A and B are shown apart, each in its own frame.
Chain A
Amino acid sequence: MYHPRTDVTHRYRYVSTDFVKHLLGTTLVVTVVTMALSAIFHEPVRPALKIDTYANQHPRTFMSVALNALNGQGEIADYGPPYNNGTGSVQDVVQKWVGIIHPVYPKTDFILNPLKQASHLDPQLTPALDAFEAAAPAQQTKWEAAFATALAHARVVSGQVLLPPGPYGPVGPMMQDMLKLGQSGLLTGALNRSPADYQFDNQNSLLFLQGRPLQDAASKLELQGNQWGIIHEENAPYPGPWWMTIVTAIYQIPFIANASAADALALGSGMFLFILLMVAPWLPGVNRLPRFLGIHRLIWASYYRKYQSASSKPPEQTP
């Protein structure tokens, strides 16, 4: 059947069809194929990077991540909106305009608050925390700088980071306590604190990990942006989200990849290309392109074979 007021296809010959059978058939095919693929290949899974595992396997890097959160040199500490009032990752005015809607201040949220919570279990933490908070910012910076210099040459022995005595003030014990907290497995819970105390949000634990820990692991798996990261699975034979190929391809263009607003440019130009596809019917030239490409001769091959004979016979009419 056709809709006579809108449909011009009734000018062509119609054939009987059983659409119920057709739809059940295609659904059955997809169901059987996906059930078989799941039984044979499953879904690829690469275990999540946990803070305690990382702190135990890479104690010195963990400590440097914590130190960068404390001294403000970490990426998130100077990120800017929507997390804080930094400027390091602000790519354009729209980002600033949105404002700080997911506030994150790494010094407080990643270090001081988790340590204060831990001090309830280990009161020996309290004097170091009090001394740090009572000190002038210039003094805090001196302690942090001295600790950073020493950390670069620190030794790691059975999961512990050994530093020679130095002018670190309370920063030394604070960092050692952060490492213990990280290794214990309690830091994830201390980072993901919602005001309602009912947790649905991994924001802060992921932002804590997002620098060296996740970057190093992703580089090994060739998942970085410049390695066509987002579209392939870490396990080679599995398909990844290949439908994001165009945006990922844009990230491979050096002009865009090296720009300070790389993400805005890549996503913006990907969106622009997609809008071109959406408005193709209204684009002069593009809307007539398929006819000249000639692929339609393959699509309607049997139709053309039947009706496009030398006699130019129009389609047959149904009774």
Chain B
Amino acid sequence: MNWTVYVREKTQLLFSLDTWLPTELPEYATGIMYTLGSLTASSFVVLVVSGILMAANGPQWWTISSIGFYLRGIHFWSVQAFFFFMVLHLLRVFFSGAWRGGREKTWLLGTLALLISVPTAFTGYLMRGDFYSQWNAVQAKDGLNALGLAWFNTLNAGQMYGLHVVVFPVILAFIIAIHLAMVRIKGVVPPYPGPDEPHDTEEGVNQNVPSAH
């Protein structure tokens, strides 16, 4: 296939309204268990909005002004919410065997998002400017130096600030966006067939159920 046609087709799928704002969902993919991913994404939105407001005013502001301090509290608690919902989502997805039926890359991107979230949040801890920042900066340096990652200088507040407010969030947002699109494009993994239900694939995805469409 011509690569420009390929890009065009993929982009059309990626940016389609059906991908992002569906009007119907499989019956099994509803309820609180299927809200955990959305709650994670919503926590990320709150993080980005509160983060933009903080970045616009600068590091001193969130330390000395009462509004800045309040906003910083929102940012802190939405990090907690983000990881809380993400870990619950991960558990739900794992116990569903959600990589079945050609969804391996969706899982891979989800875990990659979790992996990138750790330095994203950690560099934020280094931006607090308190004892916790000082202590974690000096504690983390030895491991990073030992792994050959001395370039990532936790003691350099300027570098950590840039990584925290731009580099990591942009990478994370990109991974989350592709992950969400893949969840939608591939469809949410169907339930494991029950003991008395026919199933004919290795992954346990029931292919014998007649098409509804």
Contacts of A308 in B (CB 8 A): 194-197
In this complex, what residue of B is CB-closest to A277?
Answer: B111
Judge if B27 is at the interface, Cβ distance under 8 Å: yes
Using a CB-CB cutoff of 8 Å, which residues 116-135 of chain B contact chain A? Answer: 117-118, 121-122, 125, 128-135
Judge if A158 is at the interface, Cβ distance under 8 Å: no
In this complex, what residue of B is CB-closest to A38?
Answer: B73
Interface of A is mostly: helix
Q: Provide the bound-state CA to CA distance between A72 and B39, in Å.
A: 53
Q: Provide the bound-state CA to CA distance between A17 and B27, in Å.
A: 10
Contacts of B23 in A (CB 8 A): 1, 16-19
Q: Is A317 in contact with B212, judged by CB distance below 8 angstroms?
A: yes
Residue in contact with B31 in the complex, picked from A2, A89, A302, A314, CB distance below 8 Å? A302
Residue in contact with A304 in the complex, picked from B29, B87, B156, B191, CB distance below 8 Å? B191
Residue in contact with B130 in the complex, picked from A45, A239, A243, CB distance below 8 Å? A45
Contacts of B212 in A (CB 8 A): 10-14, 315, 317-318
In this complex, what residue of A is CB-closest to B186?
Answer: A6
Decide yes or no: A8 and B121 within 8 Å by CB, A94-B146, A230-B139 being known contacts: no
In this complex, what residue of A is CB-closest to B16?
Answer: A3
Q: Is B135 in contact with A223, judged by CB distance below 8 angstroms?
A: yes
Residue in contact with A48 in the complex, picked from B43, B130, B191, CB distance below 8 Å? B130
Chain A 1-38, CB-CB to B under 8 Å as 1, else 0, gives 11110111111111111111011001101110111011
- Distance in angstroms from A57 CB to nearest chain B CB is 14
Judge if B81 is at the interface, Cβ distance under 8 Å: yes
Contacts of A37 in B (CB 8 A): 73-74, 77
Judge if B179 is at the interface, Cβ distance under 8 Å: no
Q: How many A-B residue pairs have CB under 8 A?
A: 321
Q: Is A17 in contact with B83, judged by CB distance below 8 angstroms?
A: no
Contacts of B81 in A (CB 8 A): 30, 33-34
In this complex, what residue of A is CB-closest to B197?
Answer: A312
Q: Provide the bound-state CA to CA distance between A203 and B134, in Å.
A: 10
Decide yes or no: A244 and B69 within 8 Å by CB, A6-B186, A209-B134 being known contacts: no
Contacts of B128 in A (CB 8 A): 43, 45
Judge if A124 is at the interface, Cβ distance under 8 Å: no
Residue in contact with A287 in the complex, picked from B75, B83, B99, B135, CB distance below 8 Å? B99
Q: Is B207 in contact with A225, judged by CB distance below 8 angstroms?
A: no
- Distance in angstroms from B197 CB to nearest chain A CB is 6
Q: Provide the bound-state CA to CA distance between A26 and B138, in Å.
A: 37
Q: Is A38 in contact with B76, judged by CB distance below 8 angstroms?
A: yes
- Distance in angstroms from B18 CB to nearest chain A CB is 4
Decide yes or no: A26 and B95 within 8 Å by CB, A6-B185, A14-B26 being known contacts: no
- Distance in angstroms from B55 CB to nearest chain A CB is 15
Contacts of B191 in A (CB 8 A): 296, 300, 303-304
Using a CB-CB cutoff of 8 Å, which residues 155-213 of chain B contact chain A? Answer: 155-159, 161, 184-188, 190-192, 194-197, 204-213
Decide yes or no: A43 and B76 within 8 Å by CB, A3-B185, A268-B147 being known contacts: yes
Judge if A229 is at the interface, Cβ distance under 8 Å: yes
Contacts of A288 in B (CB 8 A): 97, 204
Q: Provide the bound-state CA to CA distance between A223 and B13, in Å.
A: 49
Count chain B CB atoms within 10 A of each CB in A19, A29, A200, A243 and give the residue with the most.
Answer: A243
The 8 sampled A-B contact pairs (Cβ below 8 Å) are A3-B187, A11-B207, A38-B70, A81-B150, A95-B147, A203-B155, A278-B108, A318-B212
